[in-house]
Amino acid sequence: MVSAILAIGLLAASFGALLGFASVRYRVEGDPVVDQIDKLLPQTQCGQCGYPGCRPYAEAIAGGDVEINLCPPGGETVMISLADLLDREPVALEQEEKRPSVARIDEQTCIGCTLCIQACPVDAILGSAKQMHTVIARECTGCELCLPPCPVDCIIMDPIPTTLDSWVWPEPEQMERLP
């Protein structure tokens, strides 16, 4: 009787100690779900979802009370991968999917006011006061956040053209499926 209680007690104590140790030793900093969601988002930082960037939106999704269909640059692909990750039902996109584009500054019109530089979420615009600015196309995410602040409307969004490298072999026509 005593030995049984002792044995169970000892077991309980040792497992308790083990769990206690693990919770301290393998503590997870931050919310891994937010990181996972953030990894899926396109990182344009455009704010079209209504949140000030991709990470805030990821945090909101992780919070659970936001739909997963608010990201126009990500489109259906991102929505479906989010649905997969979070085990939620896919939902139709809120806004139309956007073709990827890149900003270009018309250097003739630019007055060098630096407002767009301050608006760019990824520091992809180069220039200084009263010097015309230019977009580093490779870094531009096409978020369009530089458009509203520009006082002379000299920023144009160019759709990214398909190249030989990015061309996609056409998908065969879907065969008719038997009813």
Partner 1 sequence: MSRALHTFHGGIHPSEEKGQTRDLAITRFKNREEVVVPLNQGIRAVNRPIVEVGDRVSRGDRLSECFNPLSVPVHAPCNGIVTAIEERPFTHPSGMQSLAIVLQASGCEPHDTPALPIAPLLEGLSNEEIITKIRTAGVIGLGGAGFPTAPKLRSGGQQIETLILNGMECEPRITCDDRLMREQPEQIILGVEVLNHLLQPKEILIGIEDNKPEAIEAMRRATANANAPIEVVTCPTLYPSGGEKQLIQILSGKEVPSGGLPYQLGILCQNVATAHAIYRAVQDRPLTHRVITISGTAVTAPGNYEVAIGTPIRQLLTDCGAAAGELVVTVGGPMMGFPLKDLDSPVTKIVNSLIVELAPTSPSTPVRNCIRCASCSDACPVRLLPQQLFWATQSRNYEDANSLNLFDCIECGCCSHVCPSHIPLVDYYRHAKAVLRNQQQEKVKAEQARKRHEFRDARILREKEEKARKLAAKRAALKAKEAQKKEAGATAGEESPDKDDKRAAIAAAIARTKAKKAKLQQEITPQSTEAGQQQ
- Write out the residues near partner 1 by the rule CB under 8 A: 38, 41-45, 53-54, 77, 81, 121-124, 139, 141, 162-172, 174-175, 177-178
Q: Round to whole Å and give the CA distance between 136 and 24.
A: 45
Q: 120 CB contacts (<8 Å, ≥6 apart)?
A: 145, 146
Among 12, 9, 7, 63, CA closest to 34: 63
Least distance (Å) between residue 117 CB and partner 1: 11
CB of 96 or CB of 171, closer to partner 1:
171
CB of 43 or CB of 101, closer to partner 1:
43
Q: Which helix (H) or strand (E) is 109 found in, with range?
A: none
Integer CA distances (angstroms), 142 to 3, 11, 71, 123, 166, in order = 71, 59, 13, 12, 17
Least distance (Å) between residue 42 CB and partner 1: 5
Least distance (Å) between residue 76 CB and partner 1: 10
CB of 38 or CB of 144, closer to partner 1:
38
CB of 65 or CB of 123, closer to partner 1:
123
